[in-house]
Amino acid sequence: MTMRALLLNHSATMGGAEFCLMDVATSLRDSASVLLLEDGVFRRRLEAAGVDVRVVDGGAIHQVRRDSVAPSAAALAGLWRVTREVAEIAADFDVVHANSQKALIVGSLAMVRARKPLVWHLHDIIDPPRFSRLNIKADVVLANRCVERVLAVSRATADAFVRQGGDPAKVHVVYNGIDPAAIDAFAPSSEQLRREIGLDGVPVIGCFSRLAEWKGQHVLIEAVGGLPGVHLLLVGGALFGEQAHEQSLRDLVKARGLMSRVHFLGQRDDVSALMQCVDLIVHPSTAPEPFARTLIESMLAGRPPIASACGGVPELIESGRTGYLFPPGDVAALRAILQRLLASPDEVARVAVAAREHARRHFSLPAFVDAVTAHLHDAATSRTSGRARRRAQEASA
């Protein structure tokens, strides 16, 4: 019998974790359904890919933020209702996969009722100060008590979970995988795109990430500011209520007199084509990045990523061989690397070849989906066999 999996995610906005879930759900569409706690673009994308999607309105639980100190009464009442509805839906499935922290909380409480095995896919480095003590405590207690397995997107992510008190025996590192075909498909349009955005014949640096303070775009703006004639494309929007931060980036560009060289392109669907029309790609996070899919996408697009060395990033990039690392927040170090690489196209081309090969070999989409599926399967069967064993023991006692 095929295993039926329910894939639970609180958000319907497309962040990195949602792109991962999109791949899992598409591959398992004959045996899995997605359950979202709000309606939005993710639901439409999943449906367009032929995935069965259900939506249970999470209501006030969406107001709880990762740095919240205590949930409101409305959030708790909402949680009670959502938990009941999720438990009813889960009754038709063999295993539940929680893809976010809110999904872990809802999933854990719902599985107390539904008695189905739960797997938590951990896409965050759960250290303070980005996460409140209360959030971290809730994650760790629920994971240790209610979850069969925790799938961490990098060693750094797994280590943070254990450092915060998570059970090491439950954690498995599963690196994300990216489909190279999705990136190659855009290659022919990149030359034309560069002409269209008026950047023909000038050096262009790209950054492909949502606009958030910890993604560090301000560091890159400062670095590019000191490189006369170099243009910067910032691709990505303020997705999770970070509009004030977008404004502060625009103010910084103005204050440094860089309006003609820094271009805010917003959220785009043609990221792969844009990656192939810039000379260099930088990912300047100032806080530990759990994985950063954009690094692997850059490698597949033939652009070795230049990234700040924090979180899981050094697990993805070997500096000088498959990309370049610099200390987080270090404007001068980043500027020096950019200056050197813009003058060394042969070196960039050589590293690009190694980076592409590295991404194809170590971050393949089929390997990622197979690993997630195997963990879901093992969680489903070990729970069943554990129960059968206990029943047999009880019967023979």
Q: Binding residues for ligand GLC, per CB under 6 A?
A: 15-17, 20, 123, 153, 176, 289-293
Residue 41 sits at the vertex; the CA angle it makes with 40 and 45, to the nearest 5 degrees, is 130
| Closest distance of CB 11 from ligand GLC, Å | 10
| Residue closer to ligand GLC, measured from CB, 240 or 264 | 240
The string of DSSP letters for 39-65 reads -SHHHHHHHHTT-EEEE---GGGGG--
| Residue closer to ligand GLC, measured from CB, 116 or 358 | 358
| Closest distance of CB 153 from ligand GLC, Å | 4
The residue at minimum Cβ distance from ligand GLC is 16
| Closest distance of CB 69 from ligand GLC, Å | 22
Tokens of 384: 């069943």
Long-range contact list for 80-87, CB < 8 A, 24+ apart? Answer: 82/37, 82/56, 82/57, 82/58, 82/106, 82/110, 83/109, 83/110, 83/113, 84/110, 84/113, 85/56, 86/8, 86/35, 86/56, 86/110, 86/114, 87/111, 87/113, 87/114
| Residue closer to ligand GLC, measured from CB, 160 or 204 | 160
| Residue closer to ligand GLC, measured from CB, 109 or 313 | 313
Q: Which conformational region is residue 311 in: left (phi greater than 0), alpha (psi within -120 to 50 degrees), or beta?
A: left
Looking at residue 187, what DSSP letter applies?
A: G
| Closest distance of CB 294 from ligand GLC, Å | 8
| Residue closer to ligand GLC, measured from CB, 94 or 246 | 246
| Closest distance of CB 292 from ligand GLC, Å | 5
| Residue closer to ligand GLC, measured from CB, 24 or 379 | 24
Tokens 């069965």 correspond to what residue?
Answer: 52
Q: Which amino acid is at 238?
A: A
| Closest distance of CB 20 from ligand GLC, Å | 5
Question: Are residues 141 and 150 in contact, defined by beta-carbon separation less than 8 angstroms?
Answer: no
